[in-house]
Amino acid sequence: MLLDIETKTAIFQRRLFFCMILTSKSSAYSGIILLYMENKKIVFGVVGLAIVALLGGAGVSWYLDRQEYPSAVIVNGDFPKDGTVLKVDGEIVCLERRDGAKSDECVYGLKADDGNLYKLWSISSEYLLSGKVTSGKRAHVEGPFYIFRNDPYEAPGKINADVFESLDATPPPGKGALEGKVSVGPVCPVEREGEPCNIPAEVYTSREVLVFTPDKKSLMARAHLDTEGKYRFELDPGTYVVELAPSGIDRSGDLPKTIVIEAGKSQTFDFSVDTGIR
């Protein structure tokens, strides 16, 4: 976050006075100093003074934290208070970084129907490995909401996803779908006749399907395969390139694959992965 000169000067002044406060003998005296600092803006007020007087250094630390980066609290909506339990529907998205840096990593967020953008937090590994948490899909999420300060991603708040329900159905208006099944093998170095190789679920769930823009410079969506090797994305109409996230010596003669998505329609793309086991 870029701060102007006046803001930087104010922060420096607060920190200087903070050092003075820590050496003072009285918490009440600390409150008087801070009140003097803010008397032109009348920002601190009686409540702030009471907190400082009661909590001393801890109260001052709270106040400075609240004032140093005020614009980091609300970015794109009016948010509930910390700890409020939310029940919201929306589309799962990959969050953008505030500094504009690009990454293959997808930090999941929810573009909720209430108009706000939330970061999804504490998602069960069961959901992640099932393929239900996939950008482009719709989901119902329930859990307590907490405001972020100085988080690197474009979401000023997070939801601890105690409840996560996929709302898969037909693509929402204006969206198209891409789905398919991936065959992975060989899995067992030696297979005896009449003793088929048992494929553990991890063979599928440990692999990820990636969806890029045609120039492969921007990752649009990613998802782990489910326990049966299936995947599904809901995407805006357009042209995309399908790839597999690097894993060991995997390779596929079917990839990369260019796919065209149309609104209201579903595309199926099945492909095979050679594990290299011989």
Residue 181, helix vs strand vs coil: strand
The secondary structure of the chain in percent helix, strand, coil, rounded to multiples of 5, reads 25, 30, 45
62 CB-near residues (< 8 Å, 6+ apart)? 51, 55
Residue 17 is encoded by which pair of tokens? 């006075």
pTM of the model: 0.44
Q: What is the predicted pLDDT for the residue at 73? A: 34
Q: What is the pLDDT along the chain (278 residues), one digit of tens a residue?
A: 334 444 444 444 555 455 444 444 444 444 444 444 444 334 444 444 554 455 554 444 444 433 333 333 333 445 567 778 888 888 888 888 878 777 667 788 888 887 788 888 877 655 555 556 767 778 888 889 888 766 777 776 788 888 877 776 556 668 899 999 999 988 887 767 777 788 888 999 899 999 999 999 999 999 999 888 999 898 999 999 999 999 888 999 999 999 999 998 889 999 999 998 87
Q: What is the predicted pLDDT for the residue at 105? A: 72
Domains and CATH numbers, the chain: 5-68 (no CATH), 85-166 (2.40.50), 176-189+198-274 (2.60.40.10)
Q: What is the predicted pLDDT for the residue at 153? A: 74
Residue 82 is encoded by which pair of tokens? 């910390």
The CA R_g of the chain, rounded to the nearest whole Å, is 26
Q: How many CA atoms lie within 13 A of 74 on its CB side?
A: 6
Q: What is the predicted pLDDT for the residue at 152? A: 76
Q: What is the predicted pLDDT for the residue at 65? A: 39
Q: What is the predicted pLDDT for the residue at 39? A: 42
The closest alpha carbon to 271, from 200, 205, 185, belongs to 185
Q: What is the predicted pLDDT for the residue at 69? A: 32
The closest alpha carbon to 76, from 120, 117, 121, belongs to 117
Q: What is the predicted pLDDT for the residue at 135? A: 73
192 CB-near residues (< 8 Å, 6+ apart)? none
Residue 145 is encoded by which pair of tokens? 């909401």
**DSSP code of 95?**
P
**DSSP code of 120?**
E
- Crossing angle of helices 57-68 and 27-37, in 10° steps, is 20
Residue 238 is encoded by which pair of tokens? 């357009």
- Can you tell me which residue has the tokens 């909590």? 55
